[in-house]
Structure 1
């Protein structure tokens, strides 16, 4: 019997706490305009988890939701405004922002929406036009 590793995370003020369990489906960097604008950063570090691996353990009533598109339901803390995660129902995954899981060993494997980048990162990882084909994208690579 194997025991799944769990990691604790929270919003900026701690009013919302959660755990993620097991291993993420994928990790990487998103360069799309929506992620850049939402995070107020040139790139977003993501970890994608199956919904059953993400459990809000405190402060669910403090979570606000905004969806600009039906593909992404962005979640934040109503107290501090700290971003927590984004539900992607079409992919069947939740993006828990890498920065809010402090003890998790983040190991990116891909850059997505790289044609929209404002920050070129030459790290040898695959750079995709959108997302991998198995997640509904084209899977088309672009130059680093």
Structure 2
């Protein structure tokens, strides 16, 4: 079974995920953009029970604007580490924090909020796939 280790910016919070991600892609929603301080957020979604915090668990801070996303960061350096999505049983480990993971994005979500159009041939979802409670509607590239 594959294991991928990551950490926060300063290395205080160390973690790993095991197996394979459930999905990888790009999120263009306003919340992810503001949280990541970038025009788009690269995500890797994992079953929540595959995440293990190896060090610094007491230094993990949490904030949630909604009950859909519990965003986590390191209290020492402020580095963002992952986001729990309890309603889906998934955790989003930011791709930048998993240097050994080969990023293979499959789609873009919340593309109607995009501020950085990306023409890569991947499906552009208006919101989320129907399987995750979204409309399943795609937008033109």
Short-chain TM bin: over 0.9
Unaligned runs of 5+ in 1: none
Q: Secondary structure at the match of 2:138?
A: coil
* Structure 1 residue 139 displacement after superposition: 0.8
* Structure 1 residue 26 displacement after superposition: 0.2
2: CA distance, partners of 1:139 / 1:25 = 17
- Normalised TM-score (structure 2): 0.99
1: CA distance, partners of 2:138 / 2:88 = 20
Match 2:119 to one of 119, 122, 131: 122
2:7 paired with 1:15 = no
Which residue does 2:63 correspond to in 1? 66
Aligned residues: 141
Unaligned runs of 5+ in 2: none
Residues 16-75 of structure 1 deviation map (CA, whole Å, 9 limit, x = unaligned) = 000010000000000000000011000000000001111101000000000011100000
- Normalised TM-score (structure 1): 0.97
* Structure 1 residue 6 displacement after superposition: 0.2
Consecutive aligned runs of 4 or more in structure 1 exceeding 3 Å deviation:
none
Match 1:26 to one of 23, 26, 35: 23
Matched-pair contact (CA < 8 Å) for 1:91–1:136: no
CA RMSD of aligned residues (A): 0.5
2:76 paired with 1:79 = yes
